[in-house]
Amino acid sequence: MKKISIGADIGGSHITTMAVDLGSGQLLHETLARCNVNCDRPATEILVAWKTSLEETLRKSLQYQLTGIGFAMPGPFDYANGIALFKGVNKFESLYGLDIRAEIKSMTGLPGELPVRFLNDATCFAIGQAWAGEASKYRRLLAITLGTGFGSAFLDAGIPISTGDEVPLHGWVYHLPFGNSIADDHFSTRWFIKRFHELSGQTVSGVKEIALAYPANPAAIAIFNEFGKNLGQFLAPLIRNFRTECLVIGGNIGHSYTLFREPFLEELNANNITGLHVCVSANGEEAAIAGSARLADNVFYNSI
């Protein structure tokens, strides 16, 4: 019987779950389930949505041997113990202090000994890319997610590196200084919205609107050029210090990579970064699901 794990990608507006073949990393798309979630709602409502999605995938996976469940979970979160620590982040705050592992097992009736594990969503994205994605051909990987926030993970031979001289603590870069503040303020959706308003006087709700205005709108051209240059300038020392072979870009802003690719690569070249392979994730959600599902592999999990 094929051994599977269920991966769950947790977002502020949805949960997506799918079974993954633990032997090959293959996503079993026929087991896909998705439920809408409002991260501002009471805890019970959020947990019921997560339960509904998990149970649908479980029903579609009865022919397989379930080895565990993994969650690609945004922070702040106590990943080892499964405790929600969302506070002051405008999402999932009703879950604060709850033992999510215990809640999931209680609501679904899963066996007490079944592993239910959690890891940062950006790290799960990187693990999925390194395990079964284009980045699997490379040993040293830096993965970033560009969207509402700025996520990151450094991997060596598929294993997340979170300490040591080669990487920032936890592998997180969002809090590092850049410009007159921190990186998260410059490499996220809110920067695009703010900067577009400064240059054009127009108000937009997201990066997609600015991308659609390119190249007819001079402000859109200027913004993507500025963003690419800034991103290259910020990442260059991190890429060099980690001896990165492959950079994976995910998140909604990554869909517009072609619009900031040239200034980004020019800035890397100016900083003597050569030979770097850059790939843009076509489906970051699936990578996060694969990465979270791999947490059920005891050998892999113990290694991280």
User: What are the extents of the domains in the chain?
Assistant: 3-114, 124-285
- Which pLDDT score, from 0 to 100, does residue 148 have? 84
pLDDT of residue 90: 80
Task: Using alpha carbons, list the distances in angstroms from residue 253 to 120, 174, 202, 224.
Answer: 19, 15, 19, 10
If pLDDT is split at 50, 70 and 90, which confidence band does 62 have?
A: very high
pLDDT at 304 over 90: no
- Decide if pLDDT at 184 tops 90: yes
What local confidence, expressed as pLDDT, does residue 176 receive? 97
Residue 134 scores a pLDDT above 90: no
Q: What does R_g of the chain's alpha carbons equal in angstroms?
A: 19
Q: How high does pLDDT run on average in the chain?
A: 95
Mean pLDDT, range 12-31, rounded to an integer: 94
| pLDDT higher than threshold 90 for residue 174 | yes
As a whole number, mean pLDDT of residues 241-269 equals: 96
Span 3-28, mean pLDDT? 94
Q: Distance between CA 290 and CA 129 in Å, rounded? A: 8
Q: Does 133 score more than 90 pLDDT?
A: no
For 187-226, how does the pLDDT look when each residue is reduced to its tens digit (9 = 90+)? 999 999 999 999 999 999 999 999 999 999 999 999 999 9
Is the predicted pLDDT of residue 284 greater than 90, yes or no?
no
What is the dihedral angle through the alpha carbons of 255, 69, 304, 72, rounded to the nearest 10 degrees? 30
- CATH dotted code for 124-285: 3.30.420.40
Domains 3-114 and 124-285 share a fold: yes
What is the pLDDT confidence band of residue 115, given thresholds at 50, 70 and 90? very high
C-alpha triplet 66, 128, 297: angle, nearest 5°: 35
Looking at the domain 3-114, which fold is it? Nucleotidyltransferase; domain 5 (3.30.420)
No. of helices (H) and no. of strands (E), the chain: 9, 14
pLDDT-based confidence at residue 132 (cuts at 50, 70, 90): confident
Quote the pTM value: 0.92
Give backbone dihedrals phi and psi of 266, rounded to 5 degrees, phi first.
Answer: -60, -40
Between CA 123 and CA 10 the distance in angstroms is 13
Condensed to tens digits (0 to 9), the pLDDT of residues 66-113 reads 999 999 999 899 999 999 999 988 889 999 999 999 999 999 999 889
